[in-house]
Structures are given as C-alpha cells and as structure tokens.
C-alpha cells in the first residue's frame, strides 16, 4: 500500500518525488499552492511510509495509478518525472510537469542529454553507502535556506527508503528510455530545469524546446521547486 495525503482546494495536482526521498520534500511547495490546488503527495514504493512494490517501472506506476484522482495535473521531480511520463501513457491526465527530469537519465550512443553511466553509478553508490548522510549532503548543495534544510534532514532521518526500493529505483533510472513515449504524448507538458543541475544537463533544454515544450530555466541545481523563482 502506498502512502498519500491530500490537502487544499482547486484542480487536482499530484506530486511524485525522486529517488531516496519522500513526499515531505514537497511541503514548502504545498504551503505555497494549497489555496490554488487540491494537492496529493505520494510516497513512492518503498520510500517514506509506503510499502515495497515488486517489479519495476510499470509495477510502480500501476500502484500509483490506483490512488490518483481523476484527470490530475501530474508533477514529477527527478525519478518522479520518469514515473509521471510513464503514467501519462497509461491514463488521462490534464497536464504533465517535469521538474529537473528527463525521459532518459543516462547517456548512450543515441542520447547526449544524460549523464555518463559511470558517473551515475559512482554518485548512486556513494549515496547508497550511507543514504541519510548522502542525501543530507546532496540537499545542502541545493539550498542554503537553513529552515528548509532542517525540515528536509528531519524527514530523511524519519522516513528512510528501503534497500529494495533504492535498488529498484536505480534500475529504473539506469535503464529507462521514454524519449519516444514523451514525444508521442498529446498531453500539455511543461518543463522546469536548473542551470546548475549536475544530474540533468542543462543542454537538454534545447531538446525540449525543439519539441515546442515550454521550458523554464532557473538559476538553481537539482531542486528547482525550492527556488524563489519556481512557478507552476
């Protein structure tokens, strides 16, 4: 069973977080927008307060779909963006918002807009060795707001992800390519990127723009929704 919480009034907005974190990461965003949207935050399988789900990308998404409101705006950050793209191929959503995300996180001979596979493995291995310490160091590089950092660090300690889900998530990140699926979507799409992001290369903005996808670039790293200039 997956954990979810809904707050606010307005059009349905669903938030999907990234690898290793939990949905409380979005609390500052929820505080900002709960008077405009009915917001549902979901802990990914094996993350936060959610149980593990056997399988990979499709199995995770099928479980998420079970608790989605009808025709939502779906916002996915990082790994959550991959899940959101896949979900948008399965059910009707009103809008897809990708935050610091990409349909393919890792470079290959046909895809220059990811990061080097070896660098990705080194990054993920370093985090996995000590997840709590690694995630705290990672977030400290994304924001200097001490109040935000304290809340994020408390959440990381309180709701650690399971080893099983971390391995599943890494497998999804390493081996998923949804570029064709994203191109085929008729759903309205918006992309928000950080120009200092080390995980989603900034040059991917050109690929999105070639597809006529509105793309907002903020002077931030991998957590753009913590930036003052962030806007839905």
* CB contact at 8 A, 214 and 220: no
- What is the model's pLDDT at position 214? 96
Nearest to 65, CA basis, from 36, 45, 39, 37: 45
pLDDT tens digits, one per residue of 132-144: 888 788 777 677 6
Q: Which residues of 59-88 are buried (b: 16+ CB within 10 A; e: fewer)?
A: ebbebbeeebeeebbbbbbbbbbbbbbbbb
- pLDDT for the residue numbered 150: 84
Whether 78 is catalytic is yes
Q: Among the options 4, 17, 47, 78, which is catalytic?
A: 78
pLDDT of residue 122: 81
Number of H helices, E strands in the chain: 9, 7
Please state, in angstroms and as integers, the Cα–Cα distance from residue 78 to each residue in 104, 161, 165, 180, 229, following that order: 11, 16, 15, 18, 18
Pairing of strands 73-77, 4-7: unpaired
From the candidates 47, 50, 101, 222, which is the catalytic residue? 222
Tell me the CATH number for domain 4-226: 3.40.50.1820
Which residue out of 101, 155, 165, 197 is catalytically annotated?
Answer: 197
Q: Which positions of the chain have pLDDT values less than 50?
A: none
Q: Residue 229: its pLDDT value, please?
A: 84
- Taking a C-beta distance cutoff of 8 angstroms, is the pair 40, 13 a contact? yes
In Å, what is the CA distance from 214 to each residue of 103, 190, 208, 210?
Answer: 16, 5, 8, 10
pLDDT at 53: 98
């Amino acid at each position: 069973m997956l954990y979810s919480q809904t707050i606010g009034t307005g059009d349905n907005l669903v938030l999907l977080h990234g690898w290793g974190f939990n949905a409380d990461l979005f609390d500052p965003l929820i505080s900002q927008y709960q008077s405009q949207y009915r917001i549902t935050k979901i802990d990914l399988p094996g993350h936060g307060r959610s149980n593990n789900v056997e399988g990979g990308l499709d199995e995770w998404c099928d479980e998420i779909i079970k608790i989605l409101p009808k025709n939502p705006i779906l916002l996915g950050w990082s790994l959550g963006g991959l899940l959101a793209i896949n979900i948008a191929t399965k059910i009707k959503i009103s809008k897809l918002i990708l935050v610091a995300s990409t349909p393919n996180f890792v470079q290959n001979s046909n895809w220059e807009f990811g990061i080097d596979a070896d660098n990705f493995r080194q990054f993920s291995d370093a985090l996995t060795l000590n997840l709590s310490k690694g995630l705290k160091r990672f977030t400290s590089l994304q924001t200097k707001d001490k109040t935000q950092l304290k809340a994020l660090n408390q959440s990381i300690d309180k709701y650690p992800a399971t080893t099983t889900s971390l391995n599943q998530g890494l497998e999804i990140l390493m081996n998923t390519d949804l570029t064709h699926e994203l191109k085929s979507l008729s759903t309205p799409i918006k992309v928000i990127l950080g120009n200092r992001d080390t995980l989603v290369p900034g040059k991917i903005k050109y690929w999105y723009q070639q597809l006529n996808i509105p793309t907002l670039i903020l002077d931030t790293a991998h957590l753009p929704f913590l930036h003052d200039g962030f806007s839905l």
